[in-house]
Structure formats: C-alpha cells, structure tokens
Amino acid sequence: MNSSQHHASKANLLNEVSIEEWKSQIKRGTLEFCILLMIRQKPCYGYDIISQLEKWPILAAKESTIYPLLRRLLKEGYLSSFWQDTAEGLPPRKYYAVTDKGTEYLSAMSAEWEHLLSAIAELRK
Amino acid sequence: MDQIMNAYLEKIDRYLRPLPLSERTDIINEIKSQMMELKAGNCLTSDQITERLGNPKELAGAYLGESLSQSAAFSLRRLIYAILFYCLAGLGGIFILPFTTILAGALLVCGVIAPVSGLVKAAGFLMGFDVPWVSFQFGSWTAHPLLALPLSVLLGILLFLAGKGFWKLTLKYIQVVSSRQRSVHSV
C-alpha cells in the first residue's frame, strides 16, 4: 500500500467513525418520536416494537435502550400500559398505548419535525 | 424458563433493588416476556438471549438511569437547596438575629428614655434650676431646655418606631426561616 492509499483509507475510517457517531445521535434524538408514532397506530408490546424497528437499521435499538425509554414515557404520562395474556402459551405481554397527553406531545413533535425537514430542504437547494 | 435465564433475571432483580418491589416485579416480568418471545419468535437459545440482552448490570443500570435520573436530579436540587438554606439560616442566626434583636431592644429603651429626659430638662428649667447632666445636643448645637421637650418627644417616637420596626423584622425573619425550614423538609 503506498502512502496516498494509506492516507485515503485512514480518512475513510475516520469518516465511518464520524458517520456512525452521527447516526447514533440521530437515533437517540428520534427514537422517542418513532416509538410514539408506532404505538399510536395500535398498542404494541416491547418485543413487537424492537422487531419492527429492526426493519430499519438506522432505528434498530437494543432492549436496554427501548425498555427504559418505554418506562420513562410511561412515567411521564405519554404512554399507558396493560398486561395481556397470550394464546400461544407465552407469558403475558405488556402492551403500551399512547395517552391523550402523548398524542399532544406527538403532534408538537411532528410540527417540529416538519420545521426541521423544511429547513434542511431549503439548505440543500 | 431455564436456569440460565432465571439466573440472569435474578441478577437483574438484585441490581434493581433501589426500586420499589412492584416496579421491580413489573420490569422482571417484562424482561421475562421479552426472553420468551425471543426464544419462540427468533428461535434463540438461552445463551444467545442473555448475550443479546447484554450484561445484567448494564441492563438494570439503564432502567435505574431512566427512573432515577429525574428523582436524582430532583434530590440533588433538594440537597443544594437544603445546604443553601442552612448556610443562610446559620448566617442569619449569627449576624441578622443578634443585630436586629439588640437594635430593637436598644431603640425601644431609648425611645422611652428620650422623652423622659426631655421632660426632666424642661421641668427643671421651669422650676428654675438647670439639669447639667441632661441636654439636647445635635452636633455642636444645643437646644433650649424648653425646645428640648418637643424635640425629645419627637426623637423618642422616632426611636420607638425604629425599635418596633426592628422587632417586627426579627419576628418576620424567624417566621420566614421556620416556614422555609418546613418546606425544605417537606420537599
């Protein structure tokens, strides 16, 4: 490997580290929004949420991220929860649903999201 | 539920001890449900499941971090508030209270002495003798013995009012401190 190639690969590596860091920041900032949007469609349980998020690599998150986040949203009154038995011989599932307060929060978030998107659209022109 | 998963849940339970029992049970049941879903839905083995969930200390820590972050910040604020309160109350005890109480007492006493002295001076003058140990002086200016009476009464009233004011201030200060103290402890 000559020096210019070496230099390029190093820059590439740095680039990748930064982009990963940036992606994790985006995830941290938007996961709450995405989870609320998902639960608003229909009540969901933890495993369901984690599996759905796995469809999108940028949103995929571990149990140790999702469950404590759900718990916080519950405590803050944006979500409510109920346990429901399963038919498949599995243990009961804890379902989450969006409360009125959560719906309000979600619409405020959606408005901010629109602002962000239009700002970025304008900047990218 | 096999031994590996049970051991994992027991560890989580131990690390979650700072939380109330009901909350802990709820968390454990939810993780248990997650484990069984992973086993049934993703066909993972117990080892793969515990590996996926990660270090039990970290998982429990994530729960504790989320649920304690608010109350921890809250109690830190409470601690700072309490420290600040006792510093100020302690300082008040050392400087403000002696200052206001002594001043209040002294001013009240002076407020009484002043008109009495004026009366003595004026009465002495009217009866034809001078009272050299009583005089109304303001800088180098000395009031006429007759003028000393209304002046000393006026001064007495002012001193008395000032004394009363400081006394009220003392009571007010004590009231505020004790009500603040209650609020520090009730928070």
- ipTM (interface pTM): 0.82
Residue predicted with more confidence, B93 or A23? A23
Average the pLDDT over each of B70-74, B80-84, B136-140, B178-182 and give the range with the smallest value: B70-74
Domain residue ranges of chain B, discontinuous segments joined by +: 3-54, 78-186
Q: For residue A114, give the CATH number of its domain.
A: 1.10.10.10
* B9 touching chain A per CB within 8 A: no
**Quick one: average pLDDT of A28-42?**
94
Partner-chain contact A72 B67, CB within 8 Å: yes
The yes-or-no verdict on residue B88 having pLDDT over 60 is yes
Which band of pLDDT confidence, cut at 50, 70 and 90, is reported for residue A32? very high
Query: Looking at chain B from residue 58 to 97, which residues have their Cβ under 8 Å from any Cβ of chain A?
Result: 58-59, 62-63, 65-67, 70
Residue A18 placed within a domain: no
Partner-chain contact B63 A67, CB within 8 Å: yes
Alpha-carbon span B32 to A90, nearest angstrom: 10
Alpha-carbon span A50 to A66, nearest angstrom: 7
Predicted local confidence at residue B69, as pLDDT: 47
**Quick one: average pLDDT of B84-106?**
84
Predicted local confidence at residue A7, as pLDDT: 67
Its pTM stands at 0.58
Partner-chain contact B54 A63, CB within 8 Å: yes
Domain count, chain A: 1
Residue A7 placed within a domain: no
Which band of pLDDT confidence, cut at 50, 70 and 90, is reported for residue B187? very low
What is the overall mean pLDDT for chain B? 84
Contact list, B41 vs chain A (CB under 8 Å):
47, 51
* B43 touching chain A per CB within 8 A: no
Residue A61 placed within a domain: yes
The yes-or-no verdict on residue B146 having pLDDT over 60 is yes
Best mutation target among B55, B66, B70, B74 (most A Cβ atoms within 10 Å) is B66
Average the pLDDT over each of B19-28, B123-132, B154-163 and give the range with the smallest value: B123-132
Q: What is the 3-state secondary structure (H, E, C) of chain B?
A: CCHHHHHHHHHHHHHCCCCCHHHHHHHHHHHHHHHHHHHHHCCCCHHHHHHHHCCHHHHHHHHHHHHHHHHHHHHHHHHHHHHHHHHHHHHHHHHHHHHHHHHHHHHHHHHHHHHHHHHHHHHHHHCCCCCCCCCCEECCEECCHHHHHHHHHHHHHHHHHHHHHHHHHHHHHHHHHHHHHHHHHHC
* A80 touching chain B per CB within 8 A: no
Question: Which range of residues forms the domain containing residue A81?
Answer: 31-124
Query: Looking at chain A from residue 18 to 77, which residues have their Cβ under 8 Å from any Cβ of chain B?
Result: 45-47, 50-51, 62-65, 67-69, 71-72, 75
Residue A21 placed within a domain: no
Contact list, A28 vs chain B (CB under 8 Å):
none
The yes-or-no verdict on residue B129 having pLDDT over 90 is no
Residue A17 placed within a domain: no
Question: What 3-state DSSP class applies to A77?
Answer: coil
* Cβ contact B159:B114 at 8 Å: yes
- Based on DSSP, count helices (H) and strands (E) in chain A, helices before strands: 4, 3
Question: Taking the CA of residue B168 as centre, how many other CA atoms within 13 Å lie in the half-sphere pointing to its CB?
Answer: 6
